[in-house]
């Protein structure tokens, strides 16, 4: 049976990439959708290896997202990032928590979980889309990543503060995270200087080891590795951009080929069509509460700082996946929400990864930014060719 599951997943990964190129839609969104269809109609289920690869794929994707944040731009645009990212967290958190408690009559803690789960902006989805469209190279893409970081930082802090269960391993995890963030860039740099570029890829393997270690220690400490992983990516960003861009390219190739698809397909497998049919009105209500709160909060600031890309920015900031799923799963495992509430929240999170992104890509694509990127690439190519001729 595992061979059939592996074959089916492999087919979904390939089909997703083909459909993505054919219809110009993010592969991440197609992987989520095909995962849901395969889970409901073709017998695909979450084996232990799919669960683990999906979880690790999310960690790897979050790490890569951190490497793409432009720290100088984050400092230069800190006010814009803080305002857009901050309201992107607070507006849906408050709106969803109030809706859950006063309208749906969930418990207070369940309402807090709902608010946290639907406050998120998906680093994974936004990063995948920015890489696939080339916007990751633009100031718009970098500002989106910075604002997204602020949003998910608020989500992580809220989950940690409101539902903290600290043990001695939590302290070990915090110390290990700080050490990893401080010393991993230096160790990678020394390895590259000592070994050069070898086919056995010692730098990549060391990075994978660090991520595995953070995941393990996070579980022991009743925490999650997403936040320190993202900050580790931030710490590595300057090194990648200035000294070793080739290493980032190789790491990204491994991630997007084999690991990240498992994360998105696993997300789709959480959707149960029959169970959702009984709570369809509640699912739709939660989705619109999140979307309306995000638009009402983010759009005015996006209009002020990114007037030409305001709606595109707002819709992408309305996406959710990684932290939303993590928060919902925490609530389920802790007994704060039941399976029905969990299914509603996770499906709302997944829908928020799909619907706003499709609308943004189909109707609000920043084509003028694409044109600017192409012009810059052409200028670089001309300058490079001119330099070669001088030689």
Mean pLDDT calculated for residue range 40-53: 86
125 to 117, 248, 273, 319: CA distances (angstroms): 15, 19, 23, 7
CA dist., res. 349 & res. 55, Å (int): 16
Predicted local distance difference test score (pLDDT) of residue 375 = 54
pLDDT tens, position by position, 297-308: 999 999 999 898
For the cut 60, the answer to whether the pLDDT of residue 244 exceeds it is yes
Residue 298 · residue 291 · CB < 8 Å: no
Mean pLDDT lowest among 21-30, 51-60, 98-107, 135-144:
21-30
Q: Quickly state the pLDDT bin for 384 (edges 50, 70, 90).
A: very low
How many whole angstroms separate alpha carbon 281 and alpha carbon 71? 42
Model confidence at 85, in pLDDT bands (50, 70, 90)? very high
pLDDT band at 377 (very low <50, low <70, confident <90, very high): low
Q: 315-325 pLDDT, tens per residue?
A: 999 998 878 88
Regarding pTM above 0.85, the answer is: no
Average pLDDT of the segment spanning 145-154: 87
Q: Is pLDDT of 34 > 70?
A: yes
Contact 100, 328 (CB under 8 A): no
Strands (E), the chain: none
Summary mean pLDDT of the chain: 84
Contact 5, 50 (CB under 8 A): yes
How confident is the model at residue 86, as a pLDDT? 96
Residue predicted with more confidence, 354 or 241: 354
Query: Of the given ranges (153-157, 185-189, 269-273, 348-352), which has the lowest mean pLDDT?
Result: 269-273
Q: Rounded CA gap, 54 and 13, in Å? A: 13
With a cut of 80, say whether residue 73 has pLDDT above it: no
Spatial CB neighbours of 162, under 8 Å, sequence gap ≥ 6: 112, 116
SS3 323: helix
Question: What mean pLDDT comes out for the span 195-222?
Answer: 85
Q: CA 88 to CA 356: how far, in whole Å? A: 14
Contact 141, 130 (CB under 8 A): yes
pLDDT (tens digit per residue) in 260-316:
888 888 878 877 788 778 888 999 999 999 999 999 999 999 999 989 899 999 999
Going by pLDDT thresholds of 50, 70 and 90, the confidence category of residue 385 is very low
pLDDT at 391: 41
DSSP conformational letter for 99 = I
Check whether domain 2-390 has CATH 1.20.1530.20, yes or no: yes
Indicate if the alpha-carbon torsion angle 94, 98, 104, 108 is positive or negative: positive
CA atoms within 13 A on the CB side of 319: 31
| Mean local confidence (pLDDT), 42-55 | 86
pLDDT at 382: 45
Q: What residue segments make up the domains of the chain, in order of their start?
A: 2-390
**What's the mean pLDDT in 345-363?**
88
Nearest to residue 74, comparing CAs of 183, 235, 225? Answer: 235
| Out of 103-107, 287-291, 317-321, 369-373, least confident range | 369-373
Selected residue with higher pLDDT from 183 and 324: 183
């Amino acid at each position: 049976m595992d061979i059939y599951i592996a074959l089916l997943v492999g087919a979904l990964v390939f089909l997703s990439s083909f459909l993505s190129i054919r219809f110009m839609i993010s592969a991440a969104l197609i992987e989520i959708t095909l995962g849901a269809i395969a889970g409901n109609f073709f017998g695909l289920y979450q084996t232990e290896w799919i669960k683990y690869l999906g979880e690790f794929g999310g960690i790897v994707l979050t790490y890569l997202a951190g490497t793409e944040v432009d720290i100088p731009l984050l400092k230069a645009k800190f006010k814009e990032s803080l305002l857009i990212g901050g309201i992107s967290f607070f507006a849906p958190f408050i709106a969803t928590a109030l809706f859950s408690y006063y309208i749906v009559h969930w418990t207070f803690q369940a309402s807090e979980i709902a608010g946290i789960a639907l406050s998120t902006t998906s680093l994974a989805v936004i990063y995948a889309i920015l890489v696939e469209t080339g916007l990751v190279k633009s100031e718009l893409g970098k500002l989106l990543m910075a604002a997204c970081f602020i949003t998910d930082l608020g989500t992580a802090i809220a989950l940690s503060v409101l539902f903290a269960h600290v043990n001695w391993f939590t302290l070990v995890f915090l110390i290990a995270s700080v050490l990893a963030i401080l010393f991993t860039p230096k160790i990678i740099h020394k390895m590259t200087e000592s070994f050069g570029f070898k086919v056995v890829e010692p730098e990549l393997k060391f990075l994978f080891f660090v991520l595995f270690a953070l995941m393990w220690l996070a579980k022991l400490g009743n925490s999650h590795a997403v936040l320190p992983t993202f900050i580790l990516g931030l710490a590595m960003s300057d090194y990648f951009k200035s000294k070793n861009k080739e290493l980032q390219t190789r790491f990204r190739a491994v991630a997007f080929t084999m690991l990240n698809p498992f994360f998105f397909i696993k997300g789709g497998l959480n959707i149960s069509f029959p169970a959702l049919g009984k709570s369809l009105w509640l699912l739709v209500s939660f989705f619109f509460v999140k979307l309306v709160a995000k638009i009402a909060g983010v759009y005015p600031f996006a209009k002020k700082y990114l007037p030409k890309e305001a709606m595109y920015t707002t819709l992408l900031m309305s996406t959710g996946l990684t932290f939303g799923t993590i928060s919902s799963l925490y609530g389920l495992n802790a007994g704060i929400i039941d399976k029905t509430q969990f299914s509603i929240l996770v499906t709302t999170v997944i829908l928020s990864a799909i619907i706003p992104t499709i609308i943004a890509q189909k109707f609000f694509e920043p084509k003028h930014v694409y044109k600017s990127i192409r012009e810059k690439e052409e200028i670089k190519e001309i300058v490079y060719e001119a330099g070669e001729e001088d030689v």
